[in-house]
Amino acid sequence: MTGKKMKVATIQMVSGIDVSTNIDDMQTLVHKAAQAGAKWIVLPEYWPLMGSSDRDKLAIAEEFGQGPLQNALQQLAKALHITLFGGSIPLRGNDENKVLNSMLVYGEQGELLSRYDKIHLFSYSGVGEQYCEADSIQAGYQVPHLEIDGIKVGQGICYDLRFPELFRAQTPYDVLVLPAAFTYTTGKAHWELLLRARAVENQCYVIAAAQGGRHQNGRTTFGQSMIIDPWGEIICGVGEGEGFAVAEINFRRLADVRRQLPALSHRQLFIRS
């Protein structure tokens, strides 16, 4: 894998309140990224719906393994012969009043490669805005582990980004995938800072796909989807609004960073007695 190169893409959306429109927009952007040569494509969190109410997602929640959202992702991956990281969609859990916020990963034949249910649930109270995902989302609990064609993949969703222990629990991996819908307030302050920190401390590529703009429901998300190299340098990205960015990730570059600064092999675990 040392000399391998691969094109990847991050998709940025400004999802609205109509699911069918969001599906169409998602498919258009994924087609364009695939035409640009991307073999791995990452969608943002909440791409199917940014509803008028946080509870709107309950109405479109699907049973795991069936439903129009899962079908759309599966068929797209197979048709374009890509690996598609499905941002997040709402899946039914064991609490009928809540959903799981889940990233499904589909391979080039449309096969399901991975499922990750978001563990950390966002809560924020600021001037004129308040969020509490736990009101409508059930937290996941399983740390994801995924390997595709010899490439080890770390995963998280949005607020997970603030908890480095989740990503340390998955190491070592070569690429970290993170769909998100950061608020404008928290994104402006911390989004790039946290993403680059995760890239540097885990010496990995980061593909971060965000919601980015003013939504029909009145919410504003920060955007700034980006692809970052293992040295913490931003390779490319999308600013505000709908779009995509494609970059080539170079696994020789990854190996060189880890050889020159072997920080992962220097890790020590201290437990307070």
Name the nearest CA neighbour of 258 among 199, 179, 197, 184: 199
For residue 49, which phi and psi values (nearest 5 degrees)? -165, 125
Looking at 45, 57, 98, 133, which residue is catalytic? 45
Catalytic (active site) residue 165: no
Sign, CA dihedral 250-252-253-257, equals: positive
Catalytic (active site) residue 96: no
Looking at 57, 133, 158, 204, which residue is catalytic? 158
| Cα first-last separation, the chain | 41
Helix (H, G, I), strand (E, B) or coil at 69: helix
Catalytic (active site) residue 5: no
Looking at 57, 118, 133, 204, which residue is catalytic? 118
Give the integer Cα–Cα distance in Å for 52 and 220: 13
Write the DSSP assignment of 187-217 as a string of letters.
IIIIIHHHHHHHHHHHT-EEEEEEB-SB-TT
Residues marked as catalytic: 45, 118, 158
